[in-house]
Amino acid sequence: MNKSASELQIYGFLPLSYSNGPGCRAVVWVQGCTLNCPGCFNPESHAFRGGQTVAILDLLHQISALQSSIQGVTISGGEPLQQITGVTALLRELKAETDLSVLLFTGYTWDEVHRLDVGDPRRVRRTRRPSFEEKRRSPTVNGEPSGGSPKFLRYVDILLAGRFQRNLRVARGLLGSANKEIHFLTDRYGPADLESVPEAELVMSPSGEILSTGIDPCFWEKR
């Protein structure tokens, strides 16, 4: 699903979280994912017909109002890059209107990120793109990545990339499994910042609902 640049289909929004990245952060979980990694702890976010449609500007205003309480925004899912148009629009506006950092989770690998078909973001083109190290060495234009780098990357401080693999599960340092890669795209954060992030937290919503979130969320049986 590639919604317009004016809206996103989201699974949920959490205004304050300490287990989804460095410091206190707002979290946006997008709705929809076709990767279907076995063992994913958020399968309810996979169906594209679920969740709710929100206007990018409404979400921007909601996050902007939190600036004094948070240091950044985490985009998770679902699969954010299967709504790459809307996600890029949101990140562009956040960059223009705030000084908040951005952390983005994706199930795609670094190479796949550079081969996504923007017209159909569930499709990965076969053409090879430069490696992460090659991209880091490539020239920039006005401080922005050049050479065909996806536009959304210029607004991201940390990208966590790769499918979750249940047999390689680690659930710490924001890594669900050992195969996933962390790409620090700016100098704002480093490895130590992720190591200090709690693996899980429990949050009570205004309605009294308890939400468990983080890279190793708590689960319990309903009785």
DSSP 46-95: --TTSSEEEEHHHHHHHHHTTTTT-SEEEEESS-GGGGHHHHHHHHHHHH
Structure letter (DSSP) for residue 5? T
Nearest Cα to Cα of residue 86 among 66, 127, 58, 115? 58
**Is residue 91 over pLDDT 80?**
yes
Structure tokens at 56: 């990018």
What stretch of H or E contains 180?
none
Q: Which residues contact 220 (CB under 8 A, 6 or more apart)?
A: none
In a domain, 176, yes or no: yes
**Is residue 211 over pLDDT 70?**
yes
Cis peptide before 50 (omega within 30 of 0): no
| CATH of residue 154 | 3.20.20
SS3 label, residue 106: strand
94-105 pLDDT tens trace:
999 999 999 999
In a domain, 180, yes or no: yes
Q: At which residue do the structure tokens 């702890």 appear?
A: 41
In a domain, 2, yes or no: no
Structure tokens at 111: 């190479």
How would residue 24 be classed by pLDDT, with cut points 50, 70 and 90?
A: very high
pLDDT for 124 equals 72
Q: How many domains does the chain have?
A: 1
pLDDT for 143 equals 34
In a domain, 1, yes or no: no
In a domain, 46, yes or no: yes
In a domain, 218, yes or no: no
Q: Kindly provide the b/e burial profile for residues 118-133, where b requires at least 16 CB atoms within 10 angstroms of the residue's own CB.
A: eeebbebeeeebbebe
The residue ranking higher by pLDDT, 125 or 130, is 125
Domain extent for 113: 7-213
Q: What is the mean pLDDT of residues 78-83?
A: 95
Percent of the chain with pLDDT over 90: 65
Q: At what angle do helices 56-64 and 84-97 cross, to 10 degrees?
A: 40
In a domain, 160, yes or no: yes
In a domain, 191, yes or no: yes
151-168 pLDDT tens trace:
999 999 999 999 999 999
